[in-house]
Amino acid sequence: MNTAQSKVALFIDADNASSSNLEFVLSELKNHGDTCIRKAFGNWKRPNLQSWEKILCKNGIESVQQFDLTKNKNATDIAITISVMDFIHRKDLNVDTICLMTSDCDFTPLVTRVRQSGFNVICAGENKTPAPLKESCTHFICTEKSETKITKENHNIEQSPPVIDCDDIYSVMNYAVDLSKNEDEEYWYRLSDIDKNIKSIISNFSAEYQDIFIKNIYSSIITKLQRKTISGVCYIECNNIKPKEAQPKAAQPKAAKPKAAKPKAAQPKAKNCEIKKLKGTISNLISKHKDSSGWVRVDVINNKLSINVKQLGYKSTIQLIKNMDFLQWKKTKNAELIKMV
């Protein structure tokens, strides 16, 4: 292959790949040509994809937002498939190699179809990637080699455990609850659903991070919640997951360079002028989207607001909305709702 003129299009399935392996994959792709097209797909609102932001910006990779259209399912693989098929029919790009960074076997039919169109197809994934995907591509890059290389280079360096920020902890916990079903009663969720969602959300974090989170942090929080058993199924009450400052001290791993302690603060409140501005914006959105009873789904308002809530002292838009005294809040089996008081 004449790599001097070969062009590679890279498509990253962030839901099924680790950001820590990206630069290794880019390095390997240099052996196959110029990676002139670089796209990463995922729902970037998910806590487990936050590690991608810096590495994508650093390597000039376009991030494509794909929302989860239904609970517990993502549409990323379909979005990637559409994008790949669009590219192989564009003659002006002169791309002759497609690379999929994923370990998802569902892409096997796509790989087969692209090869039938005369393209080389490279897959970059973990060693556990199912055989059909490995065998269907022209070349397979095992990302475990990246981790082995890093381990060898750093074997004489004393590593400290990862620091897990409080915001990360409660973002993960609350997101796991949001993904779970609570069809029986408000705030009561199956423990098995929470367990499954937690593991899925942190699956792209390092193995050490996952181990610390599950054994120390998650177990500490879960044991403090109310439980009940119905027909042999264990349920937990998730209405009382504490905010940031309630994290157990024992849960945080020690850092090599400990951060300075932050002074305790009361629940953050936005300035009066900012509250007035937000009140007007939210009032207009509610008027536009409310039902016959005046209620509107919180996620609808959340998606329409474009504000930097961290500057106001809140970790999320939903937390900010919950603390606005001009709104009435309620939770149903299917959604969280608000309306003007």
pLDDT digits (tens, 9 = 90+) for 35-54: 999 999 998 888 888 889 99
Residue 256 falls within a domain, yes or no? no
15 and 106 part of one domain = yes
| Residue 158 covered by a domain | no
Question: CA–CA distance from 335 to each of 183, 214, 223, 225 (Å)?
Answer: 11, 28, 26, 22
Give yes or no: residues 45 and 77 share one domain: yes
Tell me whether residue 28 is in a domain: yes
Contact between 121 and 114 under an 8 Å Cβ cutoff? The reply is yes
Distances in whole angstroms, Cα of residue 60 to Cα of each of 22, 26, 38, 55, 287: 12, 11, 8, 9, 41
Residues 122 and 39 in one domain: yes
- Name the helix (H) or strand (E) containing 237: strand 233-237
Q: How many domains does the chain have?
A: 3
**Same domain membership, residue 35 and residue 135:** yes
Tens-place pLDDT, residues 143-199 = 876 554 544 444 444 445 554 555 556 667 777 777 776 655 567 788 888 888 787
Do 96 and 118 fall into the same domain? yes
Run of H or E including 8: strand 7-13
Whether 148 and 286 map to the same domain: the answer is: no
Taking residues 313-333, what's their average pLDDT?
A: 74
Residue 160 lies in a domain: no
Domain shared by 144 and 190, yes or no: no
Question: Per residue in 51-61, is it b (16+ CB within 10 Å) or e — as a string?
Answer: bbeebbeeeeb
* Run of H or E residues at 7: strand 7-13
Answer with the one of 91, 125, 153 that is the final residue of a domain: 153
Report if residue 54 sits inside a domain: yes
- Is residue 34 over pLDDT 70? yes
Count of other CB atoms within 10 angstroms of residue 184:
12
- Whether residues 113 and 177 fall in one domain: no
Quick one: 24 and 70 in the same domain? yes
Q: Is 220 exposed, middle or buried (0-12, 13-18, 19+ CB in 10 A)?
A: middle
Assign 225 a pLDDT band (cuts: 50, 70, 90). confident
Give the largest CA-CA distance in the chain: 68
Q: Is residue 257 part of a domain?
A: no
Is residue 1 assigned to a domain? no
Structural domain includes residue 87 = yes
Last residue in a domain, options 121, 153, 185? 153
Domain that holds residue 48: 7-153
Nearest to 33 by CA among 103, 120, 146: 120
DSSP 118: T
